């Protein structure tokens, strides 16, 4: 279930875990390109450099109304439709035009002068944080994912931010489950995990377990999460992995990010027996 944090604190927490409703992944941009490259995972760095040699990508800034129309109609909307179908949720073109772009910027990844991917970002009020809001590849074509153009958006955006001494790039929100592919990939850029800078920061989810069955245990072990715990320094997010005698913790779903504490292993026999 989901609720505001104040209400959640009044609800039963036996055989349950609390987690943030959303989290943001924020990269603290170092002062030099060399330091930036060192903080990106070796495999991710190697893959991007290989694809960059093949395609010669460049980053182009264009915040004109015509560029926004092209980005939204030819990149963002087709990409959302291709990847999420009827479940797609995004901002309207009107919101992008009147609420995001005037307080942000639009950047394109080009290949041989052709725009193949793009990202619409907005600035924080102090212009110290640039947040990615809408992304897409040309016509939603899966080939641009296979070529690495979508990933190149993030690499080139961080290089752009480093050149301009932008302190922080916010890769925007995701759920607090470590099994999410978006969390596992963005983690390779060494982002901090923090609560969103909006009303979502006050919202929590609570996972109640009503039945102890093998399938329930399989589900829990397969989906470690950032649980909301209270330590000596106050509330914090803690990577939490379920395990039992038959199911090892999914530590391959790493939560290694700056500022996160060491993982907590939660024994399912003790956790699920807590309500008996």
Do residues 148 and 159 lie in contact, with contact meaning Cβ atoms separated by under 8 Å?
no
Neighbours of 214 (CB within 10 A): 9
Residue 9 is predicted with a pLDDT of 84
Residue 173 is predicted with a pLDDT of 86
Residue 83 is predicted with a pLDDT of 83
Residue 276 is predicted with a pLDDT of 43
Sign of CA dihedral 190, 22, 76, 254: positive
Residue 274 is predicted with a pLDDT of 54
Please enumerate in sequence order all residues whose Cβ is within 8 A of that of 93, keeping only pairs 6 or more positions apart, or say none. Answer: 68, 69, 72, 73
Three-state SS string over the chain comes to CEEEHHHHCCCCCCCEEEEECCEEEEEECCCCHHHHHHHCCHHHHHHHHHHHHHHCCEEEECCCHHHHHHHHHHHHHHHHHHHHHHHCCCCCHHHHHHHHHHHEEEEEEEECCEEEEEEEEEECCCCCEEEEEEEEEHHHCCHHHHCCHHHHHHHHHHHHHHHCCCCEEEEEEECCECCCHHHHHHHHHCCEEECCCCHHHHEEEEEECCCCCHHHHHHHHHCCEEEEEEECCEEEEEEEEEECCCCCCCCCCCCCCCCCCCCEEEEHHHHHCCCC
**Residue 187 to residue 264: CA distance in whole angstroms:** 19
> pTM (2 decimals)?
0.93
Report the chain (276 residues): mean pLDDT per 10 consecutive residues: 89 89 97 97 97 97 98 97 83 96 98 97 97 97 96 98 98 94 96 94 93 96 92 84 98 95 96 69
Do residues 202 and 9 lie in contact, with contact meaning Cβ atoms separated by under 8 Å?
no
Residue 130 is predicted with a pLDDT of 98
- For residue 174, the cross-strand partners are 23
């Amino acid at each position: 279930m989901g609720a505001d944090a104040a209400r959640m604190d009044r609800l039963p927490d036996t055989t349950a875990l609390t987690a943030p409703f959303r989290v943001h992944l924020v990269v603290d941009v170092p002062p030099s390109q060399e330091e930036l490259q060192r903080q990106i995972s070796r495999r991710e760095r190697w893959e991007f450099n290989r694809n960059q040699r093949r395609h010669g990508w460049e980053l182009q800034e264009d915040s004109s109304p015509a560029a926004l129309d092209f980005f939204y109609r030819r990149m963002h909307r087709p990409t959302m439709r291709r990847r999420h179908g009827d479940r797609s949720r995004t901002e309207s073109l009107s919101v992008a035009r009147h609420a995001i772009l005037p307080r942000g910027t639009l950047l394109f990844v080009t290949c041989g002068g052709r725009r193949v991917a793009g990202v619409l970002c907005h600035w924080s009020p102090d212009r110290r944080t640039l947040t990615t809001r809408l992304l897409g590849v040309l016509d939603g074509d899966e080939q641009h994912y296979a070529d690495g153009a979508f990933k190149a958006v993030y690499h080139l955006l961080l290089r752009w931010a480093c050149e301009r001494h932008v302190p922080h790039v916010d890769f925007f929100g995701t759920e607090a489950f470590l099994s999410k592919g978006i969390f596992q990939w963005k983690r390779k850029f060494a982002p901090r995990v923090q609560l969103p800078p909006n009303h979502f920061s006050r919202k929590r989810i609570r996972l109640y377990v009503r039945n102890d069955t093998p399938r329930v245990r399989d589900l829990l072990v397969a989906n470690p999460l950032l649980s909301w715990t209270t330590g000596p320094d106050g509330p914090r997010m803690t990577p939490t992995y379920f395990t039992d005698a038959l199911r090892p913790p999914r530590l391959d779903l790493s939560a290694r990010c700056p500022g996160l504490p060491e993982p907590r292993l939660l024994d399912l026999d003790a956790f699920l027996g807590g309500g008996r």
